[in-house]
Structure 1
Amino acid sequence: MLTVPKSTARIGKKVFKFQVAVIASILLLSNFSSAWGQRQPVARGNLKKPVCKPVARIISGDLRRVAGSKVCEEDRLQPVAGATVEVLCYLSGNILNVSGGAIGKQCSSRSQTQSQHCTSGIRGDCLKVKGPDDENVPTLIVPYSPLILNSRPSLSWTAIPGAISYIVQIEGTGVNWSKEVNSISLPYSKEQPAMQPGNIYQVNVLAKMAEQKFIASQSILMVASLQKAEQTKAIIERIQNLNLPPDELAVDIESVYKGQNLLTEAIEVLKERVKAKTQNPTIYRLLGDRYLNVGSPEQAMREYKMAIQYAKLRGNLNELAQAQAGLKLLLQSQLPTRTNPDQK
């Protein structure tokens, strides 16, 4: 078992203690994402009047709408007498049984951008503005957020100039292993026990420099409880049974993961649609939002720019406005954190 030199281990200790205190909040707080349908392409520059913002999708039980229909805040539901309508609420990512009447009263959208729901200091809920020393440590990138479903996640981190190699350590209930690698990524060891649901694990990443010096960072991971995992899976299966188009399915599944604070999984489902070369601006805008959530500004900027490009191409004013707002926030956050001599 490789060990962290005591002097080095102290580098990230303050951050680790803060993150441990924060993990309970991550399980309780939910930031919310809005969902948008696919639209037919229109001529570039032909921006149409904004349509209403969907706040939910009908699962079953509405007399006037078929399963899979999207509804906006002012739309009224009409269930069978004495029954309720099952809807996927994009705000919470949960399937709810709601009574008749305006859906907005029971499944409100409050569709601000993710940054407007930001709770300062919580990784996974806020835009993380880099400090002057953030680029000097091997910061864990993947998983993107502390709460995950995969008990054997792949790991990746930022590269450190001049590093000879990297040492990765994972410690926690039933797990205590380390490995030295020459790359900036590492699959979870198949020979080692998996992380257990509901437990917190400390992940140390050390950059080995010349003269046996180390630069270290510490992060935490927590596998979601079995109950949370099963609940999430059940909701997703209900959505999959609607046989939605691929992009709409991805947007809905993303809302479920986001509602459960499973940001790593939310990002991955959107990335699959990007790999499929979708031109739906919603996919790119949501991916920008999620990268913004986890403190990856370069990736967020790339996705927002793609969202703006495709929103203009499709004449989607709603997505254009949201992507531009996200990009503006991102640019405002990239102000210098320290003054160089030539900036005075």
Structure 2
Amino acid sequence: MCSQTLTKNLYLNRFSSLGLTTSIMVTGAFTTAPTAVAASLGTILTATGQVSIKRSGWSSYQPAAVGTSLDNGDLIWPAAGSQVKLQCSNGTTQPVPSGSPSGVANICPVPTVNPDPTMGDAIAGIDANLPYLISPRRTHLLSPTPTIRWNAVTGANSYRVRVRGVGVDWKTEVTTNQVVYGGETPLQPGEYYLITIITDSGASSTDDPGMQLGFTILDDSKRANLQADLTELSQQQPGQPTQTLAQVILYQKYKLRAEAIETLETAISANIKSAQIYHTLAGLYEEVQLNQLAINNYLQAFQLATETPDLVIKTEAAAKLAEIYSALKDTPQAQRFLQEAIQGYETLGDVTRVQNLQKLQP
């Protein structure tokens, strides 16, 4: 590919690959058309005291925690004396009045247009025979020397790694499934970079059905704004796992998906058991079309929410698992979680969602 064509493709992909999207679109045995989850209107950033939410269609309020996403039509009700802040989709942070219910749309402005393009209906990050990219993938980054990770392919003896962008064409060969970028040309903020990985047998990351998912480096002004947000958060000292989830929400504000994922994985490695952490991590993996990793974490969220119990996360994780397994045409698993989701929404009194899920049954 000539440099002019590469530059044009990088420019065109920058917008589709780095837009804020919360879910893939999937099709499968139970669906008649692709479905997608719209971007949330706001997310609970911090919460002191008791807070409940009532989604559109629910018959009653349910407890909610930091990291819970809220959409247009949802209600939030902090108990008297509680202090709650929402991270809105437009980037602002807004307090929530306590003592009475508030419509989320009255706190966070509803976008006049949807700036959130869907990613297509590909189910990617599933084929264990491919060295599909794990990180950095469809994200901004803080570090100009990122660690590149990909799926380790059984039987592969070596991997050829290539990073391309305007003025950059770095190549290396390694025997492990990760490497730190070591090109002589520094990666620049605002430029878009693509990564490809090829095994010694010829299997390529480009054979994965996901989009070309690259990365950019966060510019200095946004980095300064992020640091100010993190400093303000640290002064509140909310404790774990609230601290982790609030930090992840801030990373998502700046589209730092790789940092958000790493933060959640670090918390899990530190044995912080939280259904919300696993559920949030699963959603991030789904955003970047790493569906096997999304499945693994939705399963963990479902199990922990069952033990806690946390009816909201259990039900929403079950609905996501039913959707993904359906797209993979794994009918037994799709049926199992479809029934769990229907039962959960029946308990929540969400007649509309129950009826929609019942339509998906064969």
- How does the TM-score come out when normalised to structure 2? 0.63
Counterparts of 1:301 and 1:131 in 2: how far apart (Å)? Answer: 11
Question: What is the root-mean-square deviation of aligned Cα atoms in Å?
Answer: 4.3
The aligned residue for residue 76 of structure 2 is: 73
Counterparts of 1:182 and 1:147 in 2: how far apart (Å)? Answer: 27
CA contact (8 A) 1:55 1:73 kept: no
Once the two structures are superposed, residues 269-321 of structure 1 have per-residue CA deviations (whole angstroms, 9 ceiling, x without a partner) of 11121111122211111111111111222222221122122212222212222
Counterparts of 1:205 and 1:28 in 2: how far apart (Å)? Answer: 24
Cα offset for 1:180? 1.2
Change (3 A) 1:164 1:316: closer
Counterparts of 2:197 and 2:67 in 1: how far apart (Å)? Answer: 41
Counterparts of 2:187 and 2:125 in 1: how far apart (Å)? Answer: 31
2:12 to 21, 24, 41: 21
Q: Report how many aligned residue pairs link the two structures.
A: 283
Counterparts of 2:316 and 2:108 in 1: how far apart (Å)? Answer: 18
Counterparts of 2:203 and 2:271 in 1: how far apart (Å)? Answer: 41
Max radius of gyration: which structure? 1
Counterparts of 1:92 and 1:271 in 2: how far apart (Å)? Answer: 27
Secondary structure of 2:62's aligned partner: coil
1:95 to 87, 93, 96: 93
Once the two structures are superposed, residues 145-204 of structure 1 have per-residue CA deviations (whole angstroms, 9 ceiling, x without a partner) of 242222111112234555442221223345332211122211222x63431111112323
Secondary structure of 1:194's aligned partner: coil
The aligned residue for residue 197 of structure 2 is: 205
Amino acid at match of 1:277: N
Q: Using CA pairs below 8 Å that are at least 6 residues apart, which structure has the higher relative contact order?
A: 1
The aligned residue for residue 130 of structure 1 is: 124
Which consecutive unaligned segments of at least 5 residues does structure 1 have? 1-5, 41-48, 58-71, 79-84, 111-116, 337-344
Secondary structure of 2:272's aligned partner: coil
Cα offset for 1:333? 2.1
Aligned-pair identity in percent equals 22
CA contact (8 A) 1:50 1:316 kept: no
- How does the TM-score come out when normalised to structure 1? 0.66
Between stretches 215-224 and 281-290, larger displacement belongs to 215-224
Counterparts of 2:245 and 2:203 in 1: how far apart (Å)? Answer: 42
Whether 2:207 is the aligned partner of 1:192: answer: no
The aligned residue for residue 121 of structure 1 is: 119
Which consecutive unaligned segments of at least 5 residues does structure 2 have? 22-38, 51-59, 69-74, 207-211, 331-362
Change (3 A) 1:273 1:245: same
Trace 1:1-344 onto structure 2 (pairs within 5 A).
20-25=11-16, 29=20, 31-32=39-40, 34-35=43-44, 51-53=62-64, 73-74=76-77, 87-89=85-87, 91=89, 94-96=92-94, 102=102, 104-108=104-108, 119-121=117-119, 128-130=122-124, 137-160=130-153, 163-189=156-182, 192-209=184-201, 215=204, 217=206, 220-335=214-329
